[in-house]
Amino acid sequence: MELIERNREINDVKMLSPLVWAYIGDSIYEIFIRNYLINNSNAKPHKLHIETVKYVKAKAQVKTLEKIYDMLTDEEKDIVRRGRNVQNHHVPKNVDVAEYSYATAFESLIGYLYLTKNDERLKKILEACIEK
């Protein structure tokens, strides 16, 4: 048994809304960043939180997507496109609609790879996100 079970078949995952992919992708990315920061610093929780926000805020996710875009497969670029184009009726006040769409696209990619259990590819993309 996996620590966190992912029970959906790949075809079922493909039929989910990109907003569902983004919903889980947001969490997976934040856990990855938190774990990365904990493993690479001795900071106290408040400082860890401040550093985490630098990675997970929408503007940062847009820059991260731009950084990794060329390494994506055609299928992954299609996932990004679907995530970017999905109608989202909730946009935070401090982010413009275009930025939020691209941040959603990034989160959709992370969520899709996670839900389809494509863990090796997900790990490679996440590691590329934090490379300097």
Mean pLDDT of 75-101: 87
What 3-state DSSP class applies to 132? coil
* Residue 19 or residue 98, greater confidence: 19
pLDDT digit string, tens, across residues 35-69: 999 999 999 999 999 999 999 999 999 999 999 99
pLDDT of residue 98 exceeding 90: no
Question: How far out from the chain centre does Cα 59 lie?
Answer: 13
Q: What is the pLDDT of residue 94?
A: 75
Residue 74 annotated in active site: no
Instruction: Measure the CA–CA gap between 32 and 73, rounded to whole angstroms.
Output: 22
Homologous superfamily of domain range 10-35+44-130:
Ribonuclease III domain (1.10.1520.10)
* Closest to 56 measured CA to CA, from 29, 80, 77, 35: 29
Q: Of the listed 26, 74, 78, 96, which one is catalytic?
A: 26
Q: How much of the chain, in percent, has pLDDT values that exceed 90? A: 82
Instruction: Measure the CA–CA gap between 7 and 97, rounded to whole angstroms.
Output: 33
Predicted structure pTM score? 0.93
